[in-house]
């Protein structure tokens, strides 16, 4: 049986008698534009300059007459705005765009650009189509994950799917717009995906390149808002490698940076291969997620 969308009448049942009266007045106001009939004072936009407008009046009016409307498209319950109307020119109720519909619209826009952004932000071409829906029953964790499992169980695939979700969703109050990315491609606002071997290679390249320094790259990956590190533990654990990884991971741990890491090694095994300090920091900022099963590559 298909559930019917809630209506204004349904919402009224949940309101107090006073709120019902106010909502009825607001509906009348929206239908007729008769502000006096709705019990609201009309202020002519052209007769008052800004200094003459009494802001407390506006605040009091908003507090008294704040109302709800139900979106016809998605059934979300939203508040009317209160400001200057066009006809008549006065303070009144304005029906703003539905926030939920705007989010859906932004998601559709991001969906068109997601493959480009995934490529630009480091996701390998093989995993461009990775989708979180392929991994049912797996728990997500907003602070970070340590994804561990044998070879071929889908760790990088899952990490790429998480990256796709981060691009499609809203981070803070801003979505990942292509225009913004073009203007600030190095911004730490964007999530980044990189394998540990590639990260170490990038840092080593600074030894023979004067355009950037080892410290600059370490600082950049230490401060990226959301970082996806693939295949930790696969590198040869030299003293330089251990110190470099510790600097990045320790900073991200201390600054509560959202971090997702994959490995073939458990945290105990990682501690034995790299160091207790690195494994301890990862354990402190990431929830462990185990992926088991057969090797997908040879099925």
Q: Which tens digit of pLDDT belongs to each residue from 205-241?
A: 999 888 889 999 999 999 999 999 999 999 999 999 9
291 inside domain: yes
The rounded distance, in Å, linking the Cα atoms of 199 and 261 is 13
150 inside domain: yes
For β-strands 226-230 and 192-195, DSSP reports them as: parallel
> Which carries the bigger pLDDT value, residue 295 or residue 195?
195
CA–CA distances in Å: residue 128 to residues 69, 107, 189, 196, 199: 40, 17, 21, 19, 20
2 inside domain: no
**118 and 237 part of one domain:** yes
Q: Which run of H or E residues covers position 192?
A: strand 192-195
**201 and 248 part of one domain:** yes
**75 and 142 part of one domain:** no
The answer, yes or no, to whether residue 127 has pLDDT greater than 70, is yes
Contact 230, 124 (CB under 8 A): no
101 inside domain: no
The answer, yes or no, to whether residue 81 has pLDDT greater than 90, is no
Q: Which two tokens stand for residue 67?
A: 């109302």
Q: What stretches of the chain adopt beta strand conformation (E)?
A: 68-70, 77-79, 81-84, 91-94, 144-148, 192-195, 226-230, 258-263, 287-290
**250 and 162 part of one domain:** yes
Phi–psi pair at 71, nearest 5 degrees: -65, 130
Mention every residue, 6+ apart, whose C-beta is less than 8 A from residue 28: 34, 37, 38
SS percent in the chain: helix, strand, coil, step 5: 45, 15, 40
**92 and 114 part of one domain:** no
pTM of the model: 0.64
> Which carries the bigger pLDDT value, residue 24 or residue 173?
24
Residue 253, CB-side half-sphere exposure with 13 Å CA sphere: 18
Q: Which run of H or E residues covers position 161?
A: helix 155-168
The answer, yes or no, to whether residue 268 has pLDDT greater than 50, is yes
State the average pLDDT for the chain: 75
Contact 292, 175 (CB under 8 A): no
Q: Average pLDDT for residues 106-111, to the nearest whole number?
A: 73
CA–CA distances in Å: residue 111 to residues 13, 169, 245: 39, 10, 33
Domain with residue 221: its CATH number is: 3.40.50.300
**88 and 149 part of one domain:** no
3 inside domain: no
Q: What is the domain extent for residue 270?
A: 106-298
Cis bond upstream, residue 80 (ω within 30):
no
**252 and 133 part of one domain:** yes
Among 67-71, 91-95, 229-233, which range has the highest average pLDDT?
229-233
Q: What percent of the chain has pLDDT over 70?
A: 59
**74 and 156 part of one domain:** no
**243 and 272 part of one domain:** yes
Q: How many domains is the chain partitioned into structurally?
A: 2
**59 and 134 part of one domain:** no
Domain end: 36, 63, 96, which one?
Answer: 96
Q: What's the residue count for the chain?
A: 299
Q: Among residues 214, 272, 273, 271, which one has the least CA distance to residue 248? A: 214
């Amino acid at each position: 049986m298909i559930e019917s969308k809630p209506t204004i009448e349904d919402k009224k049942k949940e309101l107090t008698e006073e709120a019902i009266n106010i909502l009825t007045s607001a509906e009348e106001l929206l239908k007729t534009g008769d502000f006096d009939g709705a019990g609201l004072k009309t202020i002519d936009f052209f007769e008052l300059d800004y200094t003459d407008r009494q802001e407390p009046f506006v605040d009091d009016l908003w507090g008294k007459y704040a109302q709800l409307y139900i979106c016809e498209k998605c059934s979300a319950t939203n508040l009317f705005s209160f400001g200057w109307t066009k006809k008549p020119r006065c303070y009144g109720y304005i029906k703003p765009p539905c926030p939920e519909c705007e989010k859906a619209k932004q998601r559709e826009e991001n969906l068109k650009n997601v493959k480009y952004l995934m490529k630009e932000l480091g996701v390998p071409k093989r995993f461009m189509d990775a989708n979180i829906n392929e991994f049912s029953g797996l728990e997500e964790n907003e602070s970070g994950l340590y994804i561990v499992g044998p070879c071929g169980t889908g760790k990088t695939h899952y990490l790429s799917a998480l990256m796709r979700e981060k691009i499609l969703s809203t981070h803070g109050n801003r979505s990942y717009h292509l225009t913004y990315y073009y203007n600030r491609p190095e911004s730490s606002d964007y999530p980044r995906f990189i394998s540990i071997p590639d990260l170490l290679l990038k840092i080593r390249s600074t030894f023979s390149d004067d355009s950037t320094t080892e410290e600059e790259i370490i600082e950049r990956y230490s401060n990226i808002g959301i970082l996806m590190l693939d295949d930790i533990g696969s590198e040869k654990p030299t003293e330089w490698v251990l110190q470099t990884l510790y600097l990045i991971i320790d900073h991200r741990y201390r600054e509560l940076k959202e971090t997702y890491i994959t490995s073939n090694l458990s945290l105990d095994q990682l501690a034995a291969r790299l160091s207790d300090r690195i494994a301890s920091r990862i354990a402190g900022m990431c929830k462990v997620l185990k992926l088991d099963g057969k090797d997908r590559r040879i099925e």
